[in-house]
Amino acid sequence: MEIEYKKIINQKMGKEAKARGFKMVSLSPGISKWPIAIFKKSVDGHSQKYDINLDLVYNKVIFRCGKNTIEKKYEDEESYTNIILECAKFMNETGFKMLDEKIANEPGFRVEDHRRILEGYQTLADEFVNKNNIDETIAFGDRIYLIVSKINELKNMDWGSIKEELLLIGAYYCATLLTYPDTRIGGLEAGMIKKPDRSTIYGPNGIVDPLFNVYNAWMKDDDESIKRSCADVMAKEEYEAFDWKF
């Protein structure tokens, strides 16, 4: 009897993977290899993945999760099922935790950071102002220049040591953009995309993801993203005539 390869993977691994937010994709078999199960999901812009390939020449299951590999030969449905159960056991006992820990150690703002902005950006912005002895009456352009300067001071530093400071800068950035009329803050709603926990500034000309811009300016030296975002809240003529300091 022919082995129901995909069905067995779905039965032994699919339910837990789905419960954890993974989607399983199966590609078409090649001459010698079959990428039968690729499990993927995205967490705050970071991808997680583990997969199962079948070696069609030597009748092997090849499972990979990060640097961990299970590679075993099967002879029949029972031996194949036992290998898949071994893969499932690895994921349940080690794999999922390992994938989560890897993401936790990678730079980037998480859902909980966006929630903090949505629920208390002004309090966080005030903390930034008090901590840095900032004159609250400075002009809009000086605020934007200050934001870029403070981000630049933190470049090439360890993410874990400066994440909170970047979050405070993000809050001050929000408060600065919101000084313009007809602006508001809320969750992301753009066409079919709805992310209620994604802090988003809505301006007359577009939307801004403040934490994304702060992260990009820090990680990718993209200072211009901070400047460009001002075009979403300012009138076009004002933006083009503005005396930018950078």
Q: For the chain, what is the mean pLDDT? A: 92
38, 71, 104 - which closes a domain? 104
Residue 65 CA to chain centroid, in angstroms? Answer: 20
Instruction: List pLDDT tens digits, range 197-229.
Output: 899 999 999 999 999 999 999 998 777 889 889
Please check the confidence at residue 102 and state whether its pLDDT lies above 90: no
Phi and psi at 200, nearest 5°, equal -140, 135
Q: Are 221 and 165 in contact (CB under 8 A)?
A: no
Same-domain check for residues 117 and 229: yes
Please check the confidence at residue 245 and state whether its pLDDT lies above 70: no
How far is 117 from 84, CA to CA, in rounded Å?
43
72, 104, 136 - which closes a domain? 104
pLDDT band for position 246 (cuts 50, 70, 90): low
Domain count, the chain: 2
Same-domain check for residues 185 and 230: yes
Cα dihedral angle (194, 196, 199, 203), rounded to 10 degrees?
60
- Give the orientation angle of helix 210-219 with respect to helix 159-177, to 10 degrees: 130
Q: How is residue 175 annotated by DSSP?
A: H
Same-domain check for residues 52 and 89: yes
Residue 191 has a CB neighbour count (10 Å cut-off) of 5
Tell me, yes or no, whether 15 lies in a domain: yes
Instruction: List pLDDT tens digits, range 20-62.
Output: 999 999 999 999 999 999 999 988 777 899 999 999 999 999 9
Phi and psi at 165, nearest 5°, equal -65, -40
How far is 185 from 120, CA to CA, in rounded Å?
11
Percent pLDDT > 70 in the chain is 98
Residue with tokens 């994921």: 91
Same-domain check for residues 88 and 122: no
pLDDT band for position 1 (cuts 50, 70, 90): low
Please check the confidence at residue 149 and state whether its pLDDT lies above 80: yes
How far is 123 from 64, CA to CA, in rounded Å?
45
Same-domain check for residues 61 and 136: no
Burial class of 48 by CB neighbour count within 10 A (0 to 12, 13 to 18, 19+): buried
Phi and psi at 177, nearest 5°, equal -60, -35
Instruction: List pLDDT tens digits, range 153-184.
Output: 999 899 989 999 999 999 999 999 999 999 99
Instruction: Give the residue-averaged pLDDT of 229-238.
Output: 89
Tell me, yes or no, whether 217 lies in a domain: yes
How far is 231 from 238, CA to CA, in rounded Å?
9
| Domain that includes residue 204, residue range | 111-241
82, 104, 126 - which closes a domain? 104
Burial class of 146 by CB neighbour count within 10 A (0 to 12, 13 to 18, 19+): buried
Same-domain check for residues 126 and 53: no
